[in-house]
């Protein structure tokens, strides 16, 4: 069974042949993700995927993120918590250089992805390796199939046909736990799905090309409790293949899904450690006050 | 007991008044079509559908009608309007195709790539251009472009080669299409820019975050989502081009001639023409002659039907796009 070994790490080369290759198709009859949660034990850290060294982000004069150093490991969920406006979303968007789209934003410090400075990478290549799920579900106005196939199509030189894409789309939808709900209506408009389904579709779209890191920006804040629970479970299953960084201002959620938790306040990284430590034995006074609900 | 809920009079009176106004507009349109069709009837009665075909010199045919007097013999109704129809199709079609390409690229640049300062200047200027009266474009065309084409582009050899068919003066399909494109492009850019701005930011960001570059994100997501508005822009521009009379009458050479693509692209573009709308304006002085009157109304009917068909085509083209939740 494939679940006995960690999944292979796929290196994406900038000038590699089309990403849609039969080699990355999963074995028939099941996938590691279904038993990923059981496979994973808390505290077991995989290799380091991303390293942040003295990361600062300025919007004009305003320093939104101040000298943050962190590491993001494979097989681990890092939850960023903190009150609104504390810089957690900015920090997240800096990891795939999405802050560059904001006029007037400047960054200091270094971000390494597998030891390579992200500034040295082609930005599109970086974003293929570091995928992102947004706060508001944002499926494109296309069919469900086309949404999941979007990145697969865009990332290959030759337009792959539907028969090539179909197994990859199915695999992504299965890993996102959406396959059973949509397998009969792959050509239906994605925008007709419910909010929770849309968000899982966005997760499927993001993981279809097998990124190494998945960034999630408050993925459940626009969803009802039941959809939230489904997505939290999904995060637990996905972490065996991926490094996941999730921003949330819901502390219970951070506790449920996070292996490591980083507490940010006004741009500072106040405390970073295993989830149990942050919630049960916080070291800093501000962390203690925040997790107890004194402010927030 | 259930009883029907009625809206209060203060609401219903607004509903009734506005409803009556809307019905009145509809009625006016229907009456107009009926009236124009009725007036145009004699020319169709004499020519049948051959009215639309090529055959003979359309300017000579119209002159015969003008001189026929109050009781024209049936033979004087003879008309083959193809050169005018072809002129309308050519000017409108080419201008809309070029305009659409230009407007799309310009609006992508404005929305996605232009620096803020440039955008702050360019958008108001484009809107201003959209409001320039067409006769000004016509004046620039006849004073600047037509002499330029006549003196520098048309050679003596060109003139000689078609000497016995048509006279090349500079007023041509080329100038007509160039000026018509310049005239309709601003409104198309304005509509496309608004449509692209209305595309939710999340879609574009989502695409960019999947590792596609901004151009591809724009092309595969934003333009796709804005297609209904782009179609609306094309339909509007088409309607404006169809109805453009004065400017085209000034720069097209105003000759009832059908530019022939088999003359080679160069001569084709340099040949003069006259579209339907310009013909209506130029022949409106001779409306006392019944044959001219009927013919001019027939031109009007054709233009009316074209714009109706255009709206219908635009509507039908938008339908499949609505399926995936693209707003219109």
Task: Return the CATH number at B301.
Answer: 1.10.3720.10
Q: Who among A101, A136, A150 is closest to B210 (CB)?
A: A150
Answer whether B212 sits within 8 Å of A151, measured CB to CB.
yes
pLDDT at B223: 93
In angstroms, what separates the C-alpha of A96 from chain B's closest C-alpha?
7
**Residue keyed to tokens 């088999």:** B262
Q: What is the mean pLDDT of residues B246-269?
A: 90
Answer whether A140 sits within 8 Å of B221, measured CB to CB.
yes
Task: Note whether residue B75 is domain-resident.
Answer: yes
Rounded CA Rg of chain B: 24
Contacts 24+ apart (CB under 8 A), B321-326: B321/B227, B321/B228, B322/B228, B323/A189, B324/A141, B324/A142, B324/A143, B324/A189, B324/A190, B324/A191, B325/A141, B325/A189, B325/A190, B325/A191, B325/A192, B326/A141, B326/B224, B326/B225, B326/B227, B326/B228
- Between residues 152 and 171 of chain A, which touch chain B (CB distance below 8 Å)? 154-155
pLDDT digits over B156-181, tens only? 888 888 888 888 888 999 999 999 99
Chain A hits for B209, CB-CB cut-off 8 Å, are 96, 98, 127, 131-132, 134, 206
Distance between CA atoms of residues A155 and B50, nearest Å: 55
Q: Give how far Cα B88 sits from Cα of B233, B253, B268, B286, Å.
A: 19, 13, 15, 22
Q: Are B247 and B180 in contact (CB under 8 A)?
A: yes
pLDDT at A12: 40
For the cut 70, the answer to whether the pLDDT of residue B328 exceeds it is: no
Task: Note whether residue B16 is domain-resident.
Answer: no
Chain A hits for B324, CB-CB cut-off 8 Å, are 141-143, 189-191
Strands laid side by side in the A213-217 sheet: A116-117, A105-113, A48-59, A62-73, A268-274, A260-265, A77-81, A243-247, A213-217, A130-133
Probe site for chain A from B209, B215, B223, B229 (most A CB atoms < 10 A): B209
Q: Which residues contact A32 (CB under 8 A, 6 or more apart)?
A: A2, A3, A7, A26, A39, A240, A241
The parts of chain A modelled with pLDDT lower than 50 are: 1-3, 7-41, 43
Answer whether B212 sits within 8 Å of A124, measured CB to CB.
yes
Distance between CA atoms of residues A255 and A241, nearest Å: 20
Would you place residue B198 in the very low, low, confident or very high pLDDT band (cuts 50, 70, 90)? Answer: very high
Chain A hits for B325, CB-CB cut-off 8 Å, are 141, 189-192
Q: Are B181 and B95 in contact (CB under 8 A)?
A: yes
- Which residue on chain B is closest to A151 by alpha carbon? B210
Alpha carbons within 13 angstroms on the beta-carbon side of residue B1 total 2
* Buried/exposed code over B259-290 (b: 16+ C-beta within 10 A; e: otherwise): beeebeeebbbbbbbbbbbbbbeebeebeebb
The percentage of chain B sitting over the pLDDT mark of 70, rounded to a whole number, equals: 98
In angstroms, what separates the C-alpha of B186 from chain A's closest C-alpha?
27
pLDDT digits over A194-245, tens only? 999 999 999 999 999 999 999 999 999 888 888 899 899 999 988 888 899 9
Task: Note whether residue B84 is domain-resident.
Answer: yes
Interface check B118 vs A, CB under 8 A:
no
pLDDT at A32: 38
Interface check B213 vs A, CB under 8 A:
yes
In angstroms, what separates the C-alpha of A187 from chain B's closest C-alpha?
10
pLDDT at A44: 59
For the cut 80, the answer to whether the pLDDT of residue B148 exceeds it is: yes
In angstroms, what separates the C-alpha of A193 from chain B's closest C-alpha?
11
Could you give the number of structural domains in chain B?
A: 1
Sign of CA dihedral B273, B278, B282, B286: positive
Q: Are B190 and B127 in contact (CB under 8 A)?
A: yes
Interface check A150 vs B, CB under 8 A:
yes
Q: Who among B208, B212, B326 is closest to A141 (CB)?
A: B326
Reduced to 3 states (helix: H, G, I; strand: E, B; else coil), residue B63 is: helix
pLDDT at B286: 85
Task: Note whether residue B39 is domain-resident.
Answer: no
Task: Note whether residue B246 is domain-resident.
Answer: yes
Q: Who among B212, B323, B326 is closest to A154 (CB)?
A: B212
Question: Element (H or E) spanning A110, and its range?
Answer: strand A105-113
Question: Phi and psi of A17, rounded to 5°?
Answer: -60, 170
Chain B hits for A127, CB-CB cut-off 8 Å, are 208-211
pLDDT at A10: 45
Distance between CA atoms of residues B59 and B75, nearest Å: 16
In angstroms, what separates the C-alpha of A154 from chain B's closest C-alpha?
7
Task: Note whether residue B14 is domain-resident.
Answer: no
A 10 A CB-CB count for B155 gives 12
In angstroms, what separates the C-alpha of B214 from chain A's closest C-alpha?
10
Distance between CA atoms of residues B110 and B125, nearest Å: 12
pLDDT at B4: 80
Q: Which two tokens stand for residue A60?
A: 């004009």
Answer whether B203 sits within 8 Å of A140, measured CB to CB.
yes
For the cut 60, the answer to whether the pLDDT of residue B194 exceeds it is: yes
**Residue keyed to tokens 């579900």:** A137
pLDDT digits over B226-241, tens only? 999 999 999 999 999 9
Task: Note whether residue B6 is domain-resident.
Answer: no
Sign of CA dihedral B194, A124, A267, A76: positive
Q: Are A178 and A235 in contact (CB under 8 A)?
A: no
Task: Note whether residue B91 is domain-resident.
Answer: yes
Answer whether A138 sits within 8 Å of B116, measured CB to CB.
no
Domain span at residue B120? 51-322
Reduced to 3 states (helix: H, G, I; strand: E, B; else coil), residue A108 is: strand
Express the helix, strand and coil content of chain B in percent, nearest 5 each.
80, 0, 20
Interface check A186 vs B, CB under 8 A:
no
For the cut 90, the answer to whether the pLDDT of residue B35 exceeds it is: yes
Q: Who among A125, A138, A143 is closest to B206 (CB)?
A: A138
């Amino acid at each position: 069974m494939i679940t006995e070994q960690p999944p292979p790490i796929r290196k994406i080369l900038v000038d590699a042949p089309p990403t849609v290759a039969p080699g990355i198709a999963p074995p028939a009859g099941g996938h590691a993700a279904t038993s990923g949660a059981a496979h994973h034990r808390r505290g077991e850290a995989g290799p380091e995927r991303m390293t942040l060294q003295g990361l600062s982000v300025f919007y004009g004069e305003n320093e939104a993120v101040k000298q943050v150093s962190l590491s993001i490991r494979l097989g681990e969920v890092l939850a960023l918590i903190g009150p609104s406006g504390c810089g957690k979303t900015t920090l997240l968007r800096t990891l795939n250089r999405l802050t560059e789209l904001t006029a007037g934003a400047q960054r200091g410090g270094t971000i390494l992805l597998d030891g390579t400075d992200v500034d040295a990478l082609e930005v599109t290549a970086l974003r293929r390796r570091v995928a992102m799920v947004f706060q508001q579900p944002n499926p494109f106005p296309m069919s469900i199939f086309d949404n999941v196939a979007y990145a697969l199509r865009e990332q290959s030189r030759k337009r792959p046909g539907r028969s090539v894409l179909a197994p990859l789309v199915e695999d992504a939808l299965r890993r996102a736990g959406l396959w059973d709900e949509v397998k009969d209506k792959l050509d239906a408009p994605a925008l007709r799905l419910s909010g929770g389904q849309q968000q899982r579709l966005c997760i499927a779209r993001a993981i279809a090309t097998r990124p190494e890191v998945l960034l999630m920006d408050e993925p459940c804040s626009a969803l009802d409790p039941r959809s939230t629970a489904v997505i939290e479970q999904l995060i637990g299953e996905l972490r065996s293949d991926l490094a996941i960084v999730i921003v949330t201002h819901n502390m219970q959620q951070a506790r449920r899904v996070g292996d490591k938790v980083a507490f940010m306040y006004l741009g500072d990284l106040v405390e970073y450690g295993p989830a149990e430590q942050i919630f049960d034995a916080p070291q800093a006074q501000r962390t203690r006050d925040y997790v107890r609900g004194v402010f927030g | 007991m259930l009883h029907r809920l009625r809206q209060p009079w203060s609401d219903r009176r607004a509903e009734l008044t506005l409803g009556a106004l809307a019905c009145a507009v509809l009625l006016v349109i229907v009456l107009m079509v009926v009236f124009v069709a009725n007036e145009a009837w004699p020319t169709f009665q004499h020519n049948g559908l051959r009215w639309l075909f090529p055959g003979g010199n359309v300017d000579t045919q119209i002159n015969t009608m003008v001189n026929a007097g109050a009781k024209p013999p049936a033979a004087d109704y003879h008309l083959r309007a193809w050169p005018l129809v072809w002129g309308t199709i050519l000017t409108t079609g080419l201008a809309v195709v070029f305009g659409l390409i230009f407007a799309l690229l310009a609006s992508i640049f404005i929305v996605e790539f232009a620096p803020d300062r440039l955008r702050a200047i360019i958008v108001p200027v484009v809107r201003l251009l959209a409001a320039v009266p067409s006769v000004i474009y016509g004046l620039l065309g006849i004073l600047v472009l037509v002499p330029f084409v006549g003196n520098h582009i048309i050679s003596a050899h060109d003139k000689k080669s078609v000497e016995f068919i048509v006279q090349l003066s500079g007023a041509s399909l080329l100038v007509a299409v160039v000026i018509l494109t310049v005239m309709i492009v601003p409104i198309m850019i304005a509509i496309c820019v608004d449509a692209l701005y209305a595309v939710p930011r999340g879609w574009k960001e989502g695409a960019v975050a999947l590792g596609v570059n901004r151009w591809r994100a724009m092309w595969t997501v934003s333009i796709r989502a804005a297609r209904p508005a782009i179609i609306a822009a094309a339909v509007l521009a088409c309607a404006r081009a169809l109805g453009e009379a004065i400017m085209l009458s000034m720069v097209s050479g105003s000759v009832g001639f059908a530019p022939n693509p088999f003359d080679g692209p160069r001569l084709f573009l340099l040949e003069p023409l006259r579209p339907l709308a310009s013909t209506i304006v130029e022949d409106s002085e001779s409306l006392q002659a019944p044959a001219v009157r009927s013919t001019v109304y027939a031109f009007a009917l054709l233009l009316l039907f074209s714009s109706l068909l255009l709206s219908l085509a635009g509507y039908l083209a938008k339908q499949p796009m609505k399926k995936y939740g693209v707003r219109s």
